[in-house]
């Protein structure tokens, strides 16, 4: 065991603050990672503030982790000290169910072990990336390609795979019209990935204030959802809509923007239920679906895709001491476009 510095929430209402936590000793199949960067996902805020009613404290958030391998267990074959690596939203799964066998560990039938706010199979609470180091089984560690900077690559581990997986599954590519709702952490990387896949990309944002940024990321079109004309102009337009919005909103009006056989895939997770009318779905054989991050194999595929297309996230680097301020700014959509914590600041 080793004691490391971290930042934790002690309850749903007080600010995150410094703490020390224990990391297990490196087991034969473990990789020990010195964390250099950790992205701030909106999920961190939902969980820290117990918005989904499943939070456990103390909670060290963070599941967009990049760093350098410092030590490997004796049976590890795929990693060695000095490797540039990443850890995403989960650190283990049952490995036996159909989902795990198909490389879809995120849908593990008995529930994967999340990187934080979860329990490992031995009952130990898991603690995430707002910390100096983490010890993870090698099968749940990713290689970060050399041309991707560790800071701007960190949010790929959650935001990147959360958009890559549905874009790939629902066939975004040449000839397909894709809309992304919300130009935040998930949305902005989704625009870049969908563009690189060859799709015609439209951003549906609350206002036009980020239009120039969206177009420079690869969007072909940009509309404000605060303008009712948008919903008239775009009726029946899209093959695929990815909805990244973290807040409760009327999904029905977006279903009207799908063409026949189109799908809206929900990845944002508001804390209340949203009523759906049958008509927008029935009229045109449309689908409303959801998608959760991605499996380990697909996450590596996404990292290699981003490497090949030179894609990384647009980030604002902050010291850990600014994390509470960053949360408040995310809630105001005031971030371009992902906060990434420089973990060297923990040593300060
Ligand atoms: P984020 O950076 O805060 O982005 C969310 C975006 O949604 C905002 O930038 C904003 O875009 C838009 N938005 C916010 N409030 C809105 C409102 N009231 N009405 C309409 N649009 C609004 O958050 P994120 O990190 O991308 O995460 C988004 C959601 O996805 C969260 O709920 C998170 O928990 C969830 N998530 C899910 C998965 C998964 O696997 N399914 C993975 C990661 C995160 P504009 O300013 O452009 O309007
Ligand atoms: Zn996340
Ligand atoms: Zn499983």
In tens, the pLDDT along 329-343 reads 999 999 999 999 999
Q: Which residues line ligand 1 (CB under 6 A)?
A: 41-43, 46, 158, 162, 182-187, 205-206, 244-247, 249, 267-269, 291-293, 330, 333
For 60-98, letters b (16+ CB in 10 Å) and e give bbbbbbbbebebbbeebeebeeebbbbbbbbbbbbeeee
Ligand 3: centre distance to CA 104 (Å): 8
Closest of 170, 165, 166, 164 to residue 192, by C-alpha: 164
Q: What is the mean pLDDT of residues 13-19?
A: 97
User: Across all residues in the chain, what is the average pLDDT?
Assistant: 97
Q: What is the mean pLDDT of residues 22-35?
A: 98
* pLDDT of 236 higher than 90: yes
Task: Give one DSSP letter per residue of 77-141, joined into a string.
Answer: -S--TT-EEEE-SEEE--S-SHHHHTT-GGG-TT--EESSSSB-TTSPBP--SSBSEEEEEGGG-
Residue nearest to atom 38 of ligand 1 (CA): 267
Decide if 323 contacts 341 (C-beta within 8 A).
Answer: yes
pLDDT digits (tens, 9 = 90+) for 148-178: 999 999 999 999 999 999 999 999 999 999 9
Ligand 3: centre distance to CA 119 (Å): 15
- What is the C-alpha separation between 73 and 347, in angstroms, rounded? 26
Decide if 15 contacts 59 (C-beta within 8 A).
Answer: no
- Per-residue pLDDT band at 113 (split at 50, 70, 90): very high
Decide if 38 contacts 89 (C-beta within 8 A).
Answer: no
Q: Which residues surround ligand 3, an ion (CB under 5 A)?
A: 93-94, 97, 100, 108
- What is the C-alpha separation between 239 and 216, in angstroms, rounded? 22
pTM greater than 0.85 (yes/no) = yes
Decide if 104 contacts 48 (C-beta within 8 A).
Answer: no
3-class DSSP state for residue 173? coil
Q: What is the mean pLDDT of residues 57-85?
A: 98
Q: Which helix (H) or strand (E) holds 199?
A: none
To test the pocket of ligand 1, the residue of 157, 184, 223, 249 to mutate (highest count of ligand atoms within 8 Å of its CB) is: 184
Residue 308 buriedness (CB in 10 A; 0-12 / 13-18 / 19+): exposed
Decide if 304 contacts 310 (C-beta within 8 A).
Answer: no
To test the pocket of ligand 1, the residue of 219, 268, 295, 340 to mutate (highest count of ligand atoms within 8 Å of its CB) is: 268
- Within 198-277, residue ranges assigned H as helices are 211-217, 228-233, 252-255
- What is the C-alpha separation between 224 and 183, in angstroms, rounded? 11
- Per-residue pLDDT band at 271 (split at 50, 70, 90): confident
Ligand 1: centre distance to CA 262 (Å): 22
Q: Residue 161's pLDDT is what?
A: 98
Residue nearest to atom 27 of ligand 1 (CA): 42
Domains of the chain: 2-158+314-347 (3.90.180.10), 160-290 (3.40.50.720)
* pLDDT of 318 higher than 90: yes
3-class DSSP state for residue 74? coil
- Residue percentage of the chain with pLDDT more than 90: 99
Q: Which residues surround ligand 2, an ion (CB under 5 A)?
A: 41, 43, 158
Q: Residue 348's pLDDT is what?
A: 79
Q: Find the ligand nearest to 98 CA.
A: 3
Is the bond leading into 337 cis (omega within 30 degrees of zero)? yes
């Amino acid at each position: 065991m080793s004691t490391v510095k971290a930042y934790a929430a002690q309850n749903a209402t007080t600010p995150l603050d410094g703490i020390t936590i224990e990391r297990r000793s490196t087991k034969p199949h473990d990789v020990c990672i010195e964390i250099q960067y950790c992205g701030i996902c909106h999920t961190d805020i939902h969980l820290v503030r117990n918005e989904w009613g499943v939070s456990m404290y103390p909670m060290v958030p963070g599941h967009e982790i990049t760093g350098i391998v410092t030590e490997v267990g004796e049976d590890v074959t795929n990693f060695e000290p000095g490797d540039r690596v990443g850890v995403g939203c989960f650190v283990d799964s049952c490995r036996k169910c159909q989902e795990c066998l198909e490389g879809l560990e995120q849908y593990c039938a008995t529930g994967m072990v999340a990187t934080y706010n979860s329990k490992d199979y031995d009952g130990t609470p898991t603690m995430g990336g707002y910390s100096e180091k983490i010890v993870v089984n090698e099968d749940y560690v990713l290689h970060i390609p050399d041309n991707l900077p560790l800071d701007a690559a960190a949010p790929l581990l959650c935001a990147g795979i959360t958009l890559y997986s549905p874009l790939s599954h629902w066939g975004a590519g040449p000839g397909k019209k894709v809309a992304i709702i919300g130009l935040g952490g998930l949305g902005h990387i989704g625009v870049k990935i969908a563009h690189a896949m060859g799709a015609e990309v439209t951003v549906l944002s609350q206002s036009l204030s980020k239009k120039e940024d969206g177009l420079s990321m690869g969007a072909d079109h940009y509309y404000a959802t605060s303008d009712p004309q948008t919903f008239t102009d775009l009726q029946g337009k899209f093959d695929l809509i990815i909805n990244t919005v973290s807040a409760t909103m009327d999904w029905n009006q977006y279903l009207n923007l799908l063409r026949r056989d189109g799908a809206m895939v929900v990845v944002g997770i508001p804390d209340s239920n949203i009523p759906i009318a049958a008509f927008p779905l029935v009229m045109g054989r449309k689908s409303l679906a959801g998608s959760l991050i991605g499996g380990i194999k697909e996450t590596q595929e996404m990292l290699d895709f981003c490497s090949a297309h030179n894609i990384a996230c647009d980030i604002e680097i902050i010291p850990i001491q600014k994390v509470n301020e960053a949360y408040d700014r995310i809630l105001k959509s005031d971030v371009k476009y992902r906060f990434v914590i420089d973990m060297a600041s923990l040593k300060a």
